Amino acid sequence: MFEKAKWFNDYDSPVIFGIDDLSNAYYNYDSPENRNFYAKYDFGYRGLKEDSIFTYFKKFLLDKYPEIKYTVFLPFGKMSALHKSNTPYLYSIFDTKDFIDLLRYIIKSGNEIAYHGHHHGYKNASFLQPTWCKEYESFAKKDEFINLIKNDLEKFEKMFNYKIKGGRSPCFMWEDELIQPLIDLGFKWWSFHHIEKNGFISRQYKGYNIVSMPSNVEGNIFSPNFKSLKGKIKDILKKRNLKRLIKNREVISVAEHFMTSRADGIRQYLNIFDDIYSLDKLFAFFRTQKIWYATFSDVAKYFTDFHNSKIIKLDSNVFSYTNNKNKTTPEISIVSSVRKIKNLETGKFYYAHMVDGKWIFNNLKIGKYRLIDE
């Protein structure tokens, strides 16, 4: 046997963890005289300080499960979805040292920053009933909006030496005609929907060449249950869905927020602070499964390389491994029945490593290989 592994190391499912709305903001519930900060009301402004939401996240989740990989969906400008009067600290991501240090820390620790709009949309006060508008609707010309994104991306790359590869629209709202401009800006993947049952990942979205990434599990799935019978049944179904995703070897995409407040001032029901108990249980459950912990970009790249690569059996022990995009070293795993193989073009031998009882080759060069029985 010499086959492409569906996922890295032939694990059953990738777990990707998308956390929205990290913001350079702090929500002040106390009187202005109260100078104390609390993780509960921090959305990112406190950076890596002891009382920050990120330190809380790190202390109560990442330190316990260091295998976790996460992707932060970051609005770049001043987060608009907050009551100004209740948010005395509100800046863009480039404005304060604490926040910049936090972003540097996230990148340096091998996790991912993805795009989540410039300011996340705005409240249109010109109507009798103020309504929330999709961010792109505040621009008369689409070009202006695309240019704003372009500037954000360039500024980010310059400052952090880091290229943003994907994103998610605020509230999952976007217009199809914006997809091609996003691709032209260099985005390789996008998170278009949150659909509970669906582990869909696809190389195209509505005919556009951009990897469509799933979002399908809510971070509060294991929250202590004080709900109605109907709520309890819903929770049981959600857990069953989680197991089904793994059984079908689909992508598990956990959704969370750093922000604990919604635009209307109501507490955001999916948030890292309130859901920490559930997240702990969720990642404890994943430890009992064969999971690949990855960023959105890791999975999008693996998925693309997997589909562009091909293995054909030429003889009982000889296989041809090719890639239709001329990538000489596709970044995927291959499962083999033997440990040792020989590249028939170069004469070089390669040795697999063992993962869960299977011989695995990672990042093997394309070529013609003979399996060597020892």
Question: Do the beta carbons of residue 252 and residue 217 sit within 8 Å?
Answer: yes
Number of residues that bind Zn ion (CB under 5 A): 3
Question: How near is the Cβ of 67 to Zn ion at its closest, in Å?
Answer: 26
Query: 58 or 134, CB closer to Zn ion?
Result: 134
Nearer to Zn ion, 170 or 199 (CB): 170
Closest distance to Zn ion from the beta carbon of 257 (Å): 7
102 vs 332, which CB is nearer to Zn ion? 102
DSSP H or E segment with residue 101: helix 97-108
**CB 82 to Zn ion: min, Å:** 11
- The Cα–Cα gap between 118 and 116 comes to 7
Cβ at position 26, least distance to Zn ion in Å:
17
Closer CB to Zn ion, residue 20 or residue 250?
Answer: 20
> Can you spell out the DSSP letters for 76-96?
-S---SS-GGG-SEE--TTS-
- Closest to 201 measured CA to CA, from 11, 7, 3, 5: 7
Of the two residues 118 and 301, which places its CB atom closer to Zn ion in the complex?
A: 118
Q: How many residues can be counted in the chain?
A: 374
- The interface with Zn ion within residues 161-180 (CB under 5 A) comprises 170
The 274-313 contact track toward Zn ion, x by CB under 5 A, reads ----------------------------------------
Q: Does 330 bind Zn ion (CB under 5 A)?
A: no
CA distance 75 to 159: 16
Residues 16-55 that bind Zn ion (CB under 5 A): 20-21
Report the SS3 class of residue 360: strand
Sequential DSSP letters for 238-273: HHHHHHHHHHTTPPEEEEEES--B-TTSSBPSS-TT
Closest contact distance (angstroms) between CB of 99 and Zn ion is 17
Q: How far is the CB of 194 from Zn ion (least distance, A)?
A: 11
Name which of 145 and 303 has its Cβ closer to Zn ion.
145
- Closer residue to Zn ion in complex, CB, 13/169: 169
User: Quick one: DSSP state of residue 145?
Assistant: H
Q: How deeply is 207 buried, as exposed, middle or buried, from its count of CB atoms within 10 A (0-12, 13-18, 19+)?
A: exposed
Mask 2-21, x = binds Zn ion (CB under 5 A)?
Answer: ------------------xx
Q: Amino acid identity, residue 220? A: N
Minimum distance between the CB of residue 191 and Zn ion, rounded to whole angstroms? 11
- Catalog residues that contact Zn ion under the rule CB under 5 A: 20-21, 170
